[in-house]
Structure 1
Amino acid sequence: MQVIIVLALTIVSGLLLIPLVIRVIKKNNIMDLPGGRKIHKQSVPSMGGLGIMLAFAAGAAYILQGESLHSHYAIMVALGLLTLIGFWDDKMDMSAMHKLIGQLSAFSILVILGDIRIHSFFGLLGIYELPLIFSYALSIFMFVGLTNAYNLIDGLDGLAGTLGLISCNFLGVWFLYAGYKVEGLLCLAMFGGILAFLVYNWHPAKIFMGDTGSLPIGCFITTLTIIFINANGALPIESTYKFHAPIASGLSLMIVCTYDTLRVFIRRIRRGKSPFSPDKSHIHHFLMRMGHDHDQVAMLLGGVKLLFLGLVIACSNMSDHIMLPTIFVLAIASGGLINVVTLRKVRAKVRKTPPISQRMSLQLSTEDPRSRGENWEKEAILER
């Protein structure tokens, strides 16, 4: 019954709040303008994450009461802080250093005060319990990497929402069946907020998520993934819901974002550029060059993520020693295949495209002569 209440509360809240957010943003002219690396052709309201996080907050207020609120306060404080950082960045375009400092503050709350960290490697490479300092450093590194990886994948309509929806659904179902009721309901609360947002973010988008949404959602998924890894590792071997490759299972929840970020960083470094220099080399840019629309790319990459999760579920009895290399090899092979197919399609498209001189003469021949005369007259005036 609680599952139904949480889903209904967050979905309805999101459907009511997001149109209000759109109106407020338009009224205050806080728009995401086209141009540069951006794919959209017209101004679109950003900060849609406000609607998601407000809907999530409504669900969390119902879920977290008494002792459960006290034990999960670090999550709520960190998400609130990241929502504010994302909002300010969407509005004022913060510097990368200020943004990182704000993120590290939120992640430190989670890792140090909330004790949400990787405690053990669960036998991977013969390592079990981790030294405290190494555990802190590794966990904060994971938060920075995975949260920003999710932020970077938010490059076209519906993509980040689709990937987030899949992660929250998987985690929510697992937590509920494994006996972690509060964590499961929180995942479903975020699921409901994202689902409501996708109604307005599906192509053609009426609003974008912005850093206001991608930063707290990326952090939320990372947080619950770390809790999942620790909880899964603590389950008895005979448990029905135990994954014997907890780290590989957690990685599969962020596989598309992680692979895309690593691939882009390596590509930029090999070309002598800063790994943080912006460009159009993300995997969704490549897929759009193949001629796919926003919704097709979102569904395709969502399908890829589901295949990896399906593999992890099907091979739940295998250890990290087998599953981690398998996931890495499959991710690299899938990415390589996409690169090869994309290059072939782009080259074929270029071969079929007439030369510039031919296209210009064709355009001139099909224009209204009076229009051509007016254009030439305007060009002559500008040249003078």
Structure 2
Amino acid sequence: MFGALVFSILFVPEPYANRYALFLTATSVLFLVGLLEDLGFGIQPKLRLLAAILSSLMVILLLEVWLVRSGVAWFDPYMAYWPVGVALTVFVTVGVANGFNLIDGVNGLAAVAAMACAVALALIAAQAGYTAMVRFALMLAFAVFGFVLVNFPLGKIFLGDAGAYTLGFVLSWFGVSILWHFPVVSPWAILLTVFWPVADTSLAIYRRVRHRSIAFLPDRLHVHQLVMRALEIYALGRGRRQLANPLTTVILAPFVISPPLTGAWLWNDNSAAGIVVLLYAVGFFGCYVLTFPVLRRMPRRRQ
């Protein structure tokens, strides 16, 4: 995936080529650490987190871009102080990068989320008049689509930590860039483009804090894992993981795609986008909580 980003430099408009190269230089730090993990070097979660923080700080230093608006009226005056804006930017971009890694548990799910996000960002950029970002986002969307053709449904290749971290990181910075250059765009609309990984990660962090474990480590209670196990236990039967895995993505895809498309629709309506974020969040967490009692009442499939 990072190779596709490097190759895309050939298609970047000349005025943006140098800045795009600097952005990829910063991104390469996180990519290389993720790649080392994929190659079996056992990089500790704290080191991966530090790599993501370092990459974000490098983008800020090299490109002088960060979040200057939060979409919350009473908090936005504090964003005028660069330490606040920089800290929030690092928190958001690192969180989204980790979020994409955490949802990368079944074939195609993280890629579907990335494509939906990239297309939504392209639509927002087009409506705002940010033509360069339209090209960047669509190039990424097509690169991910090419990956999906091989990854789904049989999982012949995988994103791995390197690919998932890189996708989340790049997409989050695309969103930050749109907000930096076009004040008319709603931060809540940008949040909607990455709603699924953000919501799933928020829920994971809540579970870790509650059980006093490491916040960014994966567990077996992510939404996609619950759906996949439910398919095996209640519908397909155990030992049908090869079918349950891609079917989980098919089931979840409409819910993953809907928030980004809503964000593209409400791109410049901050109040409406904020309300929709709240509604999606209530629906997401409500459905998650209700899943457990519902599954306990369902009859298990006989083997």
Question: What is the TM-score normalised by the length of structure 2?
Answer: 0.85
1:78 is the counterpart of 2:26: yes
Residue 187 of structure 2 aligns with an amino acid whose one-letter code is I
| Residue matched to 2:38 | 90
- Alpha-carbon offset, residue 101 of structure 1: 2.6
1:57 is the counterpart of 2:6: yes
Residue 222 of structure 2 aligns with an amino acid whose one-letter code is H
Match of 2:290 among 334, 337, 340: 340
Contact kept in structure 1, 2:120 and 2:261, CA below 8 Å: no
> What secondary structure, in the 3-state scheme, does the structure 2 residue paired with 1:188 have?
helix
- Alpha-carbon offset, residue 126 of structure 1: 6.2
Instruction: Specify every segment of 5 or more residues in structure 2 that has no aligned partner in the other structure, as ranges.
Output: 233-243
- Alpha-carbon offset, residue 249 of structure 1: 0.4
Number of paired residues? 290
Question: Against the structure 1 CA distance between its residues 142 and 291, is the aligned structure 2 distance closer, same or farther, given a 3 Å change threshold?
Answer: same
| Residue matched to 1:258 | 198
Distance 1:313 1:64 in 2: 24
| Residue matched to 1:270 | 210
Q: What stretches of structure 1 move > 6 A for 4+ residues in a row?
A: none
| Residue matched to 1:212 | 162
| Residue matched to 1:68 | 16
CA offsets, 1:4-28, max 9 Å, x none? xxxxxxxxxxxxxxxxxxxxxxxxx
1:164 is the counterpart of 2:104: no
Distance 2:246 2:126 in 1: 30
CA offsets, 1:71-109, max 9 Å, x none? 333311122222222111111121223222322221111
Distance 2:267 2:134 in 1: 20
Distance 1:274 1:123 in 2: 30
Instruction: Specify every segment of 5 or more residues in structure 1 that has no aligned partner in the other structure, as ranges.
Output: 1-51, 236-242, 354-358, 360-384
> What secondary structure, in the 3-state scheme, does the structure 1 residue paired with 2:257 have?
helix
- Alpha-carbon offset, residue 195 of structure 1: 0.7
| Residue matched to 2:236 | none
- Alpha-carbon offset, residue 203 of structure 1: 1.9
- Alpha-carbon offset, residue 315 of structure 1: 4.5
Distance 2:204 2:49 in 1: 20
| Rg comparison, structure with higher value | 1
For residues 45-194 of structure 1, the aligned pairs below 5 Å read 52-65=1-14, 67-91=15-39, 92-121=41-70, 124-125=73-74, 127-128=76-77, 129-194=79-144
| Residue matched to 2:238 | none
| Residue matched to 2:280 | 330
> What secondary structure, in the 3-state scheme, does the structure 1 residue paired with 2:74 have?
helix
Distance 2:151 2:93 in 1: 26
Identity among equivalent pairs (%): 19
